[in-house]
Structure 1
Amino acid sequence: MLKEGNHDYFLWKRIKAGNGQAFQELYDRYADILFSFGMVYSRDRELVKDCIHDLIFDLYKYRKNLAENDNIRNYLFKSLKRKVLASAKKNLRLVYSENLTQETGNELRETDADENEDQQDQLSRINRLIGQLPEKQREILNLKFQLEMPYHEISGIMDISVESVRTSVYRSIKTIREQLEGKDMILFFVLMKEYSQLN
C-alpha cells in the first residue's frame, strides 16, 4: 500500500498530465476538508465554495506550470487560504461568532432550563476570552481543534516552525484556562471539537 506522500506524488503527476479522473479524485478527496478549512477564514459559505471551485479550475488551467509536489493537502490549504482572504477582503475572524453562539444555544435549550442558562453564560464567557486572543493565536487554535490538524501541517500553512505552533497553542489554552473554572474548560474543548458539525 502506498504511503500518503507517494499517493499524492502520483496523483499530482496525473493532474499535471491533465487526467480528468485525477481532478475528480482530487475534488472527492479534499472538497469537504477544504470547505471546513475555508470557513476558518470566512463565514460566507458560498464564497468558500466558489474559492474551492476556482482553485480546482486554476489547477487545471495552469497544470503544465505546476511544480513537483508530494503534499497536495498542504498545497491546497495554502492556496485556498490566499483565495478566501483575497476574495473576502476582510480581516481574519474567529469562527466562534454570534452565529455559533446562537446555534449552540438552540441545542442547549433542549436541556433543563437552569442548566441551559448556566451553560449559555459559560459559552458567552468562552467566546469573549477566545475573541481577546491575538489574531494569529485564534487562527492556530481553530486549525488545531476545529480541523484537528497536526502541528507540522499548521506549521506549513502558517509559515512558522512546529515549535512556534506548539507554543501558540499552549499559550492560548493557558490564557483561557487561567480565567476559567474546570467545568468551563471542559465546555471549551467540547465546543472546539463539535464546531465542525455545525457547518
Structure 2
Amino acid sequence: MEPFNDQGTDELLIWRAFKSGDEAAFGEMYRTQVQALLNYGNKINPDRQQVQDSIQDLFIELWNSRERLKDTTSIKFYLFRSLRNKLSKLSKPDHSFPLDNAYETVSDPSVTFYFFDHEIESERIERLQKTILKLSRRQQEAINLRYFHDFNNEEIAEIMGLNYQSACKLIYSGLKFLKENVKLFTFIMLLFN
C-alpha cells in the first residue's frame, strides 16, 4: 500500500485497509493518533505509565480483532472513545482535570519592555487555570474534548457516555462559569492598573 498523505485522507479507506490486514494503514492510524491519545489519556488519568500501557493494549486489541470491527468514518473518535472506556475500567478518575501547557503565554520574558505585559498575562493565565480547576471534572473533560481535540457535541456525548443534551449542558455551563469568572478578574485587573 502507498503511504497516506495527511491532507484529504479518507479515514474510511484507511480503516477498511487496516481491517483487511494492511500494516501500513495500521501504522498510519497509530502515527497520526498516538500523541493526541497520550495527551487526552493523561488528562483523565494521572498515571502516565498506565495511559501508555492502555494505548498499547488498545492498538494490540484493535489489530487482533480488526476483522470483527465495524466501519468508522472517524478513527480519532473511535480511538478516543475506546481509550476512555479502557481507562475508566482501570481506575476511578481523578477529580481534577489538569490543563497544564494548554494556556502558555507567547510573550518573551527576556525582553524588558514586555516584562510588565508578560506579568499581567501570566496572572491572567494563572487565574484562568485556577478557574478551570473549579469546574467539575466532567465539565473540564467536555471542554477539553471540544476546544483542544475539536470534537463536536454529539461525539463528546458518545465519548463520555452521556446523552446529547447533557453534553451540551456540561459545555455551556462550564463556559458560562469561565466567562463570568474571567470577566470579573479582568475588571479587577483594570481597576488596579
TM-score by length of 1: 0.69
1:93 pairs with one of 89, 93, 96: 96
Q: Contact between 1:143 and 1:154, CA under 8 Å: does it hold in 2? A: yes
Report how many aligned residue pairs link the two structures. 177
Structure ranking higher in helix proportion:
1
1:55 matches 2:58: yes
| Residue identity in the other structure for 2:51 | V
1:159 matches 2:177: no
- Point out the more displaced range, 75-84 or 106-115: 106-115
Provide the C-alpha distance between the structure 1 equivalents of 2:43 and 2:132, rounded to a whole number of angstroms. Answer: 14
1:16-72 deviation digits (Å, cap 9, x = unpaired): 333323312322332233233323323555543433222111111233443454443
| Residue identity in the other structure for 1:168 | L
Q: Rate the CA distance shift 1:148–1:70 in 2: closer, same or farther, 3 A.
A: closer
- Point out the more displaced range, 158-167 or 63-72: 63-72
Alignment of 1:33-182 (within 5 A): 33-42=36-45, 45=48, 47-86=50-89, 90-91=93-94, 93-97=96-100, 100=101, 104=104, 109-110=109-110, 112-181=114-183
Kindly indicate whether structure 1 or structure 2 has the higher relative contact order, using CA contacts under 8 Å at least 6 residues apart.
Answer: 1
Unpaired segments ≥5 residues, structure 1 = 1-6, 186-199
| Residue identity in the other structure for 1:160 | L
Q: Contact between 2:153 and 2:167, CA under 8 Å: does it hold in 1? A: yes
Percent of pairs identical after alignment?
24
Alignment of 1:11-30 (within 5 A): 11-30=14-33
Deviation at 1:151, TM superposition (A): 1.9
Q: Contact between 1:41 and 1:92, CA under 8 Å: does it hold in 2? A: no
Provide the C-alpha distance between the structure 2 equivalents of 1:68 and 1:106, rounded to a whole number of angstroms. Answer: 41
Provide the C-alpha distance between the structure 1 equivalents of 2:174 and 2:160, rounded to a whole number of angstroms. Answer: 16
Provide the C-alpha distance between the structure 1 equivalents of 2:53 and 2:108, rounded to a whole number of angstroms. Answer: 33
Provide the C-alpha distance between the structure 2 equivalents of 1:183 and 1:108, rounded to a whole number of angstroms. Answer: 23
TM-score by length of 2: 0.71
Q: Contact between 1:43 and 1:95, CA under 8 Å: does it hold in 2? A: no
Q: Rate the CA distance shift 1:110–1:88 in 2: closer, same or farther, 3 A.
A: farther
Unpaired segments ≥5 residues, structure 2 = 1-9, 188-193
Larger radius of gyration: 2
| Residue identity in the other structure for 1:109 | P
| Residue identity in the other structure for 2:109 | R
